[in-house]
Chains A and B, each alone.
Chain A
Amino acid sequence: MSREETLNELKKVIAPYTTNKDMLSSIDDQTDLIRDLKINSANLVDIIIDAEATYDIEIDYDSADKMINVGTCLDVITEKLSQK
């Protein structure tokens, strides 16, 4: 899966948890999930769990801790996909 394909999947994962739909279409690596997309911090857990199902990966506590912006989310997902 290319980074762009991964990003497109990630947008679908994030969509139910943000009300900032305009911003979602134009997200990049720098987009902060809490600050920019106005996602409540507890919903980051739901995004991680949904991402696990979408990409069929397992995300451990340390990796989850890094998933702050779109770029770090993609890094973690890419890393986990490569370990499969």
Chain B
Amino acid sequence: MYNDILKHLPYKSSFLFVDNISELNKDGVTGEYTLREDAFFYEDHFVGNPVTPGVIITEIMAQIGLVVLGIFLIIKENGFSFEPDDVMLPLLTSTEVAFHKMVLPGQKVTVISKKQYFRFGKLKCYVEMMDESSELIAKGMFSGIMKKVDLNNE
């Protein structure tokens, strides 16, 4: 019921890391993603031993925890008008993540994000990632901004 928001995400195919949003309100978001067994990074990370890279874990947490919530908050605040020439880019401004468990190909992860604040266009959230037995995979503080780029003037 919250998945309408996913059409606003500016990612596709190999770099889209959100399958479903199960909870979404002004204070936070919960979403799920299942790692594709044929994802591009497993062949090389690590050779013969596919393990999800920390940067991908971080990206999954950022897409669900910051970008989905950020778009939701912006729509709620001032209506999200998509001018054809404007591009809204969600940019990560800082992260601090601790990793507790490995994530293997095919595994399903749940990301839970709690808003710390959304002010002056910056969203800061405390984000946790859990596995299917609700054990902690990673946790950390994420911040980002939504930057409007006018392609005619750049």
Contacts and interface: CB of A to CB of B under 8 A. Distances in A.
B94 A43 contact: yes
Nearest to B145: A42
A42 B117 contact: no
A1 B145 CA distance: 34
Contacts of A42: 93-94, 122, 143-145
A23 interface: no
A57 to B, nearest CB: 14
A49 interface: yes
Interface string B112-125: 00000101111010
- Name the prevailing secondary structure of the B interface residues: strand
Contacts of B145: 42
Interface string A7-49: 0000000000000000000000000000000001111011011
- Name the prevailing secondary structure of the A interface residues: helix
Contacts of A40: 93-94
A49 B117 contact: yes
A64 B121 CA distance: 12
Contacts of B117: 49
Contacts of B124: 46
Nearest to B144: A42
Contacts of A64: 120
A49 B94 contact: no
A45 B94 contact: no
A16 to B, nearest CB: 12
Contacts of B120: 45, 48, 61, 64
8 contacts: A40-B93, A40-B94, A41-B93, A42-B145, A46-B124, A48-B119, A49-B117, A64-B120
Interface of B: 93-94, 117, 119-122, 124, 143-145
Chain A to chain B: the 6 pairs with minimum beta-carbon distance, closest first: A42-B93, A45-B122, A45-B120, A42-B122, A64-B120, A42-B145
